Amino acid sequence: MKRTYHPTIPPKVEHEHTAMDQSFREPVVALCDWALVNVPNIDEARKE
């Protein structure tokens, strides 16, 4: 995440996604998708 501070009154801060953010986001989204698909299996395994 790129953060840009502007020394104004009131102060202003802008945030911008970077290529590194995107490369991190893709596997996290894949993990979340997997978890959602497997909720029934996860719930069943927790009962054991």
For residue 36, the model assigns a pLDDT of 96
Q: Note the pTM of the prediction, 2 decimals.
A: 0.56
Eight-state DSSP code of residue 15: E
Question: Contact, 6 vs 12, CB < 8 A?
Answer: yes
State how far the Cα of 2 lies from the Cα of 9, in Å rounded to an integer.
Answer: 21
Residues 6+ apart with CB under 8 A from 13: 3, 4, 5, 6
State how far the Cα of 18 lies from the Cα of 2, in Å rounded to an integer.
Answer: 7
Per-residue pLDDT tens over the stretch 3-34: 999 999 999 999 999 999 989 999 999 999 99
Two tokens, residue 20: 């590194």
